[in-house]
Amino acid sequence: MKSFAPHAIFFDLDGTLVDSVPDLAEAARRMLAELGEPTRTDAEVATFVGKGIPMMVERALTVGRGPVSAERLAQAIPVFMRHYEATNGKLTRAYPGVAETLPVLKARGLKLGVVTNKAEAFIAPLLDELGLGGFFDVLIGGDTLAQKKPEPEPLWHACEQVGVSREAVLMVGDSGNDALCARRAGIPVLLMTYGYNEGVPVDTEDCDGLLSSFTELPALLA
């Protein structure tokens, strides 16, 4: 695999830095129970993650079950948000190597950021709960801008926020959504093999390399 010489690295959150499915699934189950809908397993919810909360809620309601009205979806989203506020960070864990590797990257003088489709309100509390918040110079959520991944604007906005040109950035994610965002933004991208990727094999995605462990990242940096 080729090496990279970035001045900044931007990470996806769910499926890249943290395994958040247990909390997301519990919030989804509470939402479904409150709405009188059938429940979902953790494995099902794992395939719903990646395009932001509205899409995840819609998938929880509809996949294998048929469509719902726009009104029903609009009713369900705030219910999920309320329950996720209660579950966020309770069962989520950083993936192996993340807590050990982030300080190594910071020690090299790199700017670090999170660019995720998770709603912005949930990002900092989750990172702080896991003791990771102090490593990041910028946090971009799915509702920070009018556009979210796979549109390129969130990555470009992150570049502007840390004062680094697009040519000096690396994206690290776990899904085709991350890869497409980076491609559209003109930024190289590495994908973790342990993430979610909506049930699609990650080795089928257009990216610049695959990592099976977070600890492999520093060795790829020139």
- The rounded distance, in Å, linking the Cα atoms of 203 and 209 is 9
Domains 8-20+92-220 and 21-87 share a fold: no
Residue 208 CA: distances (Å) to CA of 69, 90, 116, 192, 214: 40, 34, 19, 11, 15
User: Is there a binding annotation on residue 12?
Assistant: yes
pTM of the model: 0.94
Residue 174, annotated as binding a ligand? yes
Query: Residue 81 has which token pair?
Result: 């948000």
Residue 1 scores a pLDDT above 80: no
Which residues are designated catalytic? 12
The residues pairing with 211 across neighbouring beta strands, listed in sequence order, are 192
Q: What is the CATH number of domain 8-20+92-220?
A: 3.40.50.1000
At residue 26, the pLDDT reads 98
Residue 187 has pLDDT above 80, yes or no: yes
Tell me: the pLDDT tens digits for 109-123?
999 999 999 999 999
pLDDT at 142: 95
Model pLDDT for residues 45-91, shown as the tens digit of each residue: 999 999 999 999 999 999 999 999 999 999 999 999 999 999 999 99
Amino acid in position 53:
I
- Residue 203, marked binder: no
pLDDT band per the 50, 70, 90 thresholds, residue 2: confident
CA dist., res. 97 & res. 77, Å (int): 33
For residue 126, the SS3 value is helix
The arithmetic mean of pLDDT across residues 6-30, rounded, is: 97
Boundaries of every domain in the chain = 8-20+92-220, 21-87
Task: Express each pLDDT in 143-162 by its tens digit.
Answer: 999 999 999 999 999 999 99
CATH of span 21-87:
1.10.150
